[in-house]
Each structure stands twice: as C-alpha cells, then as structure tokens.
A and B are shown apart, each in its own frame.
Chain A
C-alpha cells in the first residue's frame, strides 16, 4: 500500500525530501515511523552527514534534510542527480509497518 508522495530538491550539498501523506490519516503513521534515525539508516552509504526532520502537520507532510547527499552539490558534484531531484522516490522505497 502506498502511503505518501514526495518531492526533493537541493541546497548546496544538502538534499531535501518533502514526504507528503496521500491521505490525512496516514500522516500520524509517517510521524511515528519515518523518523530521522530511520531515514538515516535507509540512506546509509549514500549520504555523509546527518538527517534532520521537520513536521508540517498543516500540510500532512514531513521535511527531511539529508546533509552531505550530493558529492559537494551544484557544479562540484559528479553525480547524475547533482541537485537531489530523485532522492524523493528513493525515500518512497522505505517500508513501514501499518498499525493494526
């Protein structure tokens, strides 16, 4: 079952991923399960810095900052995804347990 959609972008060497609940009632599941620590484990080996999480309950969304995600970012980066455009769908690969 799909719980969320997402969009990502860049700020220097940091990628941001906005994770948006597909239905308002899914938001609490995301808040409980998609923690900064969980996302850091998910992206282990792909990012060099910490993960920060911010909550936007008004939009049923979480915003993640993935530091050190872009090989220096912008013009410095050698990555195909130098601007972090598809970290969004990479986060959507994360599987969470639904509450019973």
Chain B
C-alpha cells in the first residue's frame, strides 16, 4: 500500500482494516474519536460499525461479538474506560474467542479531559495485556499484534495510545486492507459465559495461569526490548521513548517498554547488569514499580525519587531536564523558552451563533442566584459565562443537581446537559431525581449531534454512524416516561420564549425539564443553512456593552461602539438583547 502522511488515529484505523476487523463499536472522546470516524465512512467496508450510546454499552457489544468468533475493536477515551470498567474486569475472566482490542486513549496534560488517569493501571488491575505505542508507525504496527495476542491468550487486549500519538502526524508505512469475512456464531458454554460464583472462581484461576505466558510472549514479540551498551541504562515507554532516543548518549544501555505485563525475570537480568537505571514514563510509575521490584542494590531513578512528575505530559525539554539531573546529559540542550507575558488569552469559546450561549443567557436572566451543575460537552465553555458551577464526569449534571437539592441548599438549582451526554448516562440521573423527589430544573441543550468531539451522530440525530437513517429518539418522551410532568421544548434563539418557560419552571416544585432545541451552528453551516448576518447601527448604539457581555466572538467593541464582525451567523440573539434596538439584519434599516 506504501507510505502515507497520516494522523495517528487514521493510521490506527487503517491498521484495523489491515487486520480484517469485523465489528467496531465505541463512544466518541478526544483523543480517540477519529478512529471510528475514519472506519465509518469507508466505502465497500465489510465490517459492522456503530457509535454506541456509551462506553459500557460499546464494550459489551464488542465483547459478545468477539465471543461469536469475529474480530472486534472498541474505542473510547481514558475516562470512558471508567464507564466500561464493569464489563472490562469480568471480560478478562470470560475471555474471547476472536480478537478483542479495546483502544483507550490517554490524555496526559488533560488537553481535552477531566483528568489524567493512566489506562495501564486498568490493564494491571484487570490482568490483561496492554500495548503502549511510542510512535504512529508503532501504533499502526501494534494493532495486528494486539489482535494476534488477544486470540493467542483468549483475552481482551488494551491498546493505549496518548494524545501525542493519536493527534500526531507522520509518514506511515501501510499494509493492504483485508476484508473481514468471518461470520459470527455463538457457541453456548455456560461455564465460560455465565459467571456465577462456581464458574467465576475457576475462570479467575485460569486468568492467573495465563500471566507468565503473556509476559514471556511480549518479550519474544519484541514489544519489550533492550540494547546493552554500558553500566548505566535508561528504560522508557510511550512518547517518552522517542524523546530519550533523540538525546541518548553513547555508551548508555536502552530498554523500550511497549507492552505490559513486563516479564520480571527478563527485567531483573537487564537491571542487574547495570549500576544506575533511569526510568522515563508519563503519568503513573508503572514501569518504575516493576523495575524497583527487581532492582536489589542497583540505583533506580524515577518519579518516586524526584526524577520526573506524576502529572502532565512529557516534552523533549522535560525529558532532557530529567536526563541532565540524573547525570545522563552534561547540559540540557534545549531552552525552556518563556512565552511573551500578558498577551490577551485566546481560549476556546462557544461559536458565534451557538445555541448554548442563548440558553445560558436566558437561564442567568431567570435564575440569578442559582446553582448551575453542568456536564461534558461544548457547553462546559459556559464556565466563561458564569453558568457552569460543576463538571465531574459524563452524565453528572442531573445527579449532582439532585444531590445538592437533597443536601438542603435553599437556592434554585438549574443544571445543563447536552443531548448526547443525556443519552450516555444522564437518563438514570433523571429517573433517580424524579423517583426521589428532587427539586431541580434540568435544561437539555439539544443540538442533535455529539458536537465537541467532531459531530458524531447519536440516537437523537436520525442516522447511524454509517449514515443509515434511523428514527430520532424523542427526548420529550424519555423524560415523560422517567416520570417528569413538566417537559417543555424551547428555541434558545428566542430569548423571550425561553425566559417565559424558565419563569414557569421556577415557580414549580419537583423535577422540571426544558429541552432547548436548535441545530449546532457548525452543522447548520455545513448543511448550507444561511440566516444572513447582523450589524450594529453606530448612530443608535449607546456603547452600553450589553451585547459585548453576551460574549459572542462576532461582537467587538471599538471607540465606545459595538461592531459585528464576519463571524456572525445570524442567530439574532444580540438583536433581542440590545436595549436601544441598534442591531438589525444586514441590509435592513
């Protein structure tokens, strides 16, 4: 197939096709989303592909497919693995018939995440193999390896690229795609698939018996390897390996860890040939702990004794600094490079014309002194507008709201949650809130798409991952069937209408749901919807700043007057806010 310049996730997706994958499921999450986004748009694909409603659902689907003898891939971000942890832990007991690769993409530095957890710890916990690539090419090459290992040991295999693999680019040598033509067939075997205590005790023993074979095989396959050059050594994993590689001095032994569990006999043999070992890895000290287990009197330098950090991501500079401190480099060849200070920041911001901004404005207008639990999506950016007080994990807006309600805080509680997040893990929270009599207002921000991660369809979009039409779920009916009697749909571009409904909700007790419906402005633009644009009449504008405080990137303020730039998408919300009527559609006076 030759060489291509690809994003890490594109290379991973291609490797899945080269491995003849038959079944693909997952839930979007940065930095993992592009793998399925690539797989779902392939013409003439022979595999099944779905966006599932959450990661637990995705993994259970993929697991049972692998039980039926078809190769399955399941993708998610690291925190998605928490949602899928329940099936994950026991899938190691039941095992699989055909390969099951679970891609859980880690995000050191939390570029786009709520925490910096390390998927390698889950692999350790579940006692399943984990592959940890150091480059895009290696990520690509590890996928067929992961399927083979999964089939050899009859276990799911975790594949753990990080943001710097998924969202890096490089020239990658690709193989030919292979049609996945296996036909699934479920063979009944209750001792394998029904984990009652009598069965599961035996399955646990079998899982433990597999461990030493796995450790040896990972070395035999070259996933863990080393070269001995002297009396001191560096052991590195993940992206940190490439940073060390670029700086490695002559005469220093080098070990690469690309897979777990690490074979302790092999590791001991290497460590004992040296006087000093430096371990370089991101996040948890997984490798370091293994090295310390076998080090005896050999000096081990790692994050446990101040060589490296438990948080954040590695950079070439940080690695050089660690190598200098540990005596492997005379001097750090890089400079820290301080950026120019006091420049106005440019954080991500809700788009011009985003429905969320109008909804947040209306919420703040009606509920001035309220508590605002929120959730995970573009609308978390409502933090900048002062309407996001909490965000913990997917689906936690409604549960946090009901918890605060029962804790006795007398203020109004208004929580916000997106449509995809509501369908992911929000429904249970709503059901619980109604059942237990919470006093909360829930605003579902319904833009009909999973926008933040790149516009993936969900059950509310009217189509599946592969573009096949499917009936869009009724959020209204879901809420009513959870027992909510006050369910109103509003257009968040119509501030007066939304304010009226919110005022009504404010007067009532119990759980009230307001569905703020409007298409994502990016989807609207792609669909060719044109609403024109708005302008400020400088003769009428008094420079009061009401529209500027609305926080839309299309509104600027110059020489004591507001001005609308070419980002305007014509939502018309600012025109409704202007107290003197200075904003009107372009071309109209």
A binds B: no
Residues in A lying within 8 Å of B, measured CB to CB: none
